[in-house]
Amino acid sequence: MNPRKWLLLGAMVVLCLGAGAGQSADTAQPGDEIVNKLLDSNARRNAALQSYQGMRVYELDYQGFPAVHKHAQMTVRVIYHYPHQRELTIVSESGSKVLLNHVLHKLIAVEQETSGEKEHADSEMNRVNYRFQYLGQKSAQGRDCYLLQVIPLRENKLLYDGKIWVDKNDFAIVQIDAQPAKPPSAWISQTRIEHEYGKIGEFWLPLRNRSTSKVRLGGKAVLSIAYQDYAITDQRTASLQAVGGQ
Tell me the per-residue pLDDT of 203-226, one tens digit each, with 9 for 90 and over: 999 999 999 988 777 788 999 999
Show Cβ contacts of residue 118 under 8 Å, excluding neighbours closer than 6 positions: none
Band of pLDDT at residue 65, cut at 50, 70 and 90: confident
The answer to the question of residue 34 being in a domain is no
The answer to the question of residue 199 being in a domain is yes
The answer to the question of residue 67 being in a domain is yes
Chain-wide mean pLDDT for the chain? 85
Tell me the per-residue pLDDT of 67-107, one tens digit each, with 9 for 90 and over: 789 999 999 999 999 988 889 999 999 999 999 998 899 98
Band of pLDDT at residue 228, cut at 50, 70 and 90: very high
Q: Is the dihedral of CA 211, 217, 218, 219 positive or negative?
A: negative
Band of pLDDT at residue 66, cut at 50, 70 and 90: low
Question: Residue 132 sits in which domain range?
Answer: 4-20+39-228
The answer to the question of residue 245 being in a domain is no
Band of pLDDT at residue 112, cut at 50, 70 and 90: confident
Contact 50, 150 (CB under 8 A): no
pLDDT of residue 80: 94
Show Cβ contacts of residue 195 under 8 Å, excluding neighbours closer than 6 positions: 3, 6, 175, 176, 178, 206, 208, 209, 210
CA distances from 236 to 50, 172, 233 (A): 7, 18, 11
pLDDT of residue 171: 97
> Which of 50 and 20 is assigned the larger pLDDT?
50
Measured from the Cβ of residue 5, the count of other Cβ atoms closer than 10 Å reads 20
Q: Is the dihedral of CA 97, 216, 226, 170 positive or negative?
A: positive
Band of pLDDT at residue 20, cut at 50, 70 and 90: very low
Band of pLDDT at residue 243, cut at 50, 70 and 90: low
The answer to the question of residue 235 being in a domain is no
Q: How many degrees, rounded to 5, is the angle at CA 104 between CA 103 and CA 106?
A: 65
The answer to the question of residue 12 being in a domain is yes
Q: Is the pTM of this model over 0.75?
A: yes
Contact 130, 150 (CB under 8 A): yes
Report, as an integer, the average pLDDT of 48-63.
96
The answer to the question of residue 177 being in a domain is yes
Instruction: Give percent above pLDDT 70 in the chain.
Output: 80
Q: How far apart are alpha carbons 119 and 142 in whole angstroms?
A: 33
- How many domains in the chain? 1
Tell me the per-residue pLDDT of 119-170, one tens digit each, with 9 for 90 and over: 778 888 999 999 999 999 999 999 999 999 999 999 888 899 999 999 999 9
The answer to the question of residue 233 being in a domain is no
